[in-house]
Amino acid sequence: MSEIDSKVIVITGCSSGIGLETAITCAKNNMFVFACVRNPYKIFELKKRIEDEKLTEIKIIEMDVSKDISIKNGIHQILNFTNHIDILFNNAGRMILGSLEDLSDNELSGQLDTDLRGVIILTKNILPIMRKNNSGLIINMSSVAGRIGFPLSSAYCISKFGIEGLSQALRRELMPKNINVCLIEAGVVDTKFFVNTPDAIASKHSAYSEETKVMRKVLNNLMKNIKEKESLGSKSSDVSEKVLEIIKENGKEFRYSIGNDAEAMIAALESCNDDQSKMDVAINNIMKEWM
């Protein structure tokens, strides 16, 4: 094994969107990138960017974070190339739209296995490598949905609230080991994320069918508006630049918000001082603007 001298970053969810853009950005900034993808048949866009931009500091790793064995195999592949991992960006994620009542057990576990349990298991397996080298930085992709509960998004909110709690606990737990933990709280990002968000199978004919249609309309309008208004939401490149900023300052802050929409909602949350009735009104008003 010939050792990699530059900083090594492991990024999940790299077949498109934020993960892909961050992998490219980090490779351009003198890091060696292990770009993890769940489906090896969906790496055309990533491979094309690597080839077009003549990047040699990226290695594609097959890793499905919802499967423990895939995580272990992926780490084994990485350790064939290097004995150190300096940065972990837990980015892979999914979302399913629907009421808690409508979600099947499989739909709920699919959400949690990817967005929460997968982060826990991957981080748990990478920590001994970072600890051995007495340094590390873990960046977890969260969302305003990790601070604010949205209707018809309970499964996603559960996973992101979990990420917030995990990150806060780990930051304090790992500080003595010289390992920093922080998170990014994004609003809407111009990717295929919402386009690829399915409705719960049962929601079509359920007691929540009308509410689900309204929420779907909100998501569609958000994606339409983000393409027309630069002031709303963020682009994948904005997030990748934020990751670069975090790396340069070694996760000095705990929370990094991104996007005017995210900042507006977090400001509304903080102004309500834990008064849930005020928060309900504030968030409902913001969602009406999105419709």
Going by C-alpha positions, the residue among 256, 196, 168 that lies closest to residue 16 is 196
Residue among 59, 156, 235, 242 flagged as catalytic: 156
Bridge partners of 87, per DSSP, are 9, 137
54 in catalytic set: no
Distance CA 105, CA 69 (A): 22
160 in catalytic set: yes
25: its two tokens = 């950005």
Going by C-alpha positions, the residue among 97, 25, 23 that lies closest to residue 61 is 23
Residue among 28, 54, 124, 160 flagged as catalytic: 160
DSSP codes of every residue in 235-266: -HHHHHHHHHHHHHTTS-SSEEEESHHHHHHH
Helix (H), strand (E) counts: the chain: 10, 7
* Residues forming the active site: 156, 160
